[in-house]
Amino acid sequence: MEIIDQLLAYGWWVGAILIVVGFVALVKGADWLVDGASAIAKRFGISDLIIGLTVVAFGTSMPEFVVNMVSVAEGSTELALTNILGSNIINTFVILGLTALVYPILSQKRSRDFDIPMSIIAGVLVLSFVAIQLPFGETGRGVGRVGGVVLLLMFCYFLYNTFRHAKDHPEEVEAEEGTKEIPVRRAVALMLGGFVGLVVGGELIVKSAVDIASKMGVSEAIIGLTIVALGTSLPELATSVIAAFKKNSDIALGNVIGSNIFNVFFVLATSATIRPLPAYDGIELDALMAALGSIIVWLAVKTNRERKVKRWAGALLLLIYAGYLTYRLMSI
């Protein structure tokens, strides 16, 4: 979009404004797309449970997905990698940390036995890809096409297991609240409007982030780990903290861990399959943090009888993140 480039020529402050506008368009676009798609799915007789496991679940990862697709198209591979790693780090250390401080987070058996271990596996796989030389003719370190395919296969397994569990244990799965009855025309309009919002928002964010990084003399990786990652994680942050104040914080763990799994096994996998994502300076620490967050959460719920992420664990997560962020910013 040439108009974005023209606006960015006025200064970095324009880029900052455009990023905010982009996040608003991105989040609202995702909401409209989910509402429209859910209403149409309901029209075809699909249950609220299935809609929740598919349309809604994919919708929550749409901001990260769109930003990554635009980044890959623009050749900003650092932004594509750090958007996912940064989002997962913020999801675990900041969102769960703040939520647990407000009210201890109760874990469900499904989360302890399958979802959190899958999140750990996702982090370990990414760390392995970026820490070792890739085989099969791929040069350099990073998440290449082979890694992308491996992650997509893991995503297929995750979906299969999730649907099988929902079918075998319907009493353990909370269905989404009844999908709103929306006229077909309005549902289609919402989907189209949501799609436009996602595309425009993604373009604004990626172009502005790259421009700010260039003008401020910092790497795209730092912008991706902080501004972009925080922006795409805002919906989860708001939902989780509000739920904690209502003493309903157990939904936060499922939302955050589910988002982390989708981010790696679906968003990052799709990005790497389209265009290999080479390693950047400091990626080992970022990937390690993404894996470490899930490990700490798993240990936190396994080491007490209540199976909760308690306030001390929330404080620990926030302290570790503060130390990590300080180190990364000082190493610029």
Residue 56, both tokens: 């809604």
pLDDT above 70 as % of the chain: 86
Residue position matching structure tokens 């421009």 = 211
- What's the pTM value of the predicted model, to 2 decimals? 0.85
Burial of 94 (0-12, 13-18, 19+ CB in 10 A): buried
Domain 2-330 is classified in which CATH homologous superfamily?
Answer: NCX, central ion-binding region (1.20.1420.30)
What is the pairing mode between strands 277-278 and 142-143? antiparallel
Average pLDDT along the chain: 83
Residue 244 tokens, joined:
């904690």
| Nearest one of 52, 67, 62 to 31, comparing CA atoms | 62
How do the domains of the chain map onto residue ranges?
2-330
Helices and strands in the chain, H and E counts:
17, 4
Per-residue confidence at 137, pLDDT binned at 50, 70, 90?
very low
Residues 206 and 4 sit within 8 Å (Cβ to Cβ): no
Q: Residue 143: in which H helix or E strand, if any?
A: strand 142-143
Angle at 314 between CA 312 and CA 319, to 5 degrees: 95
One-letter identity of residue 211: D
**CA separation (Å) from 173 to 38, 177, 243?**
18, 12, 18
Radius of gyration of the chain (CA): 19
- Encoding tokens for residue 263? 């981010």
Least confident range from 5-19, 87-101, 156-170: namely 5-19
State pLDDT tens for residues 171-211: 555 544 555 677 878 888 888 888 888 888 888 888 888 77
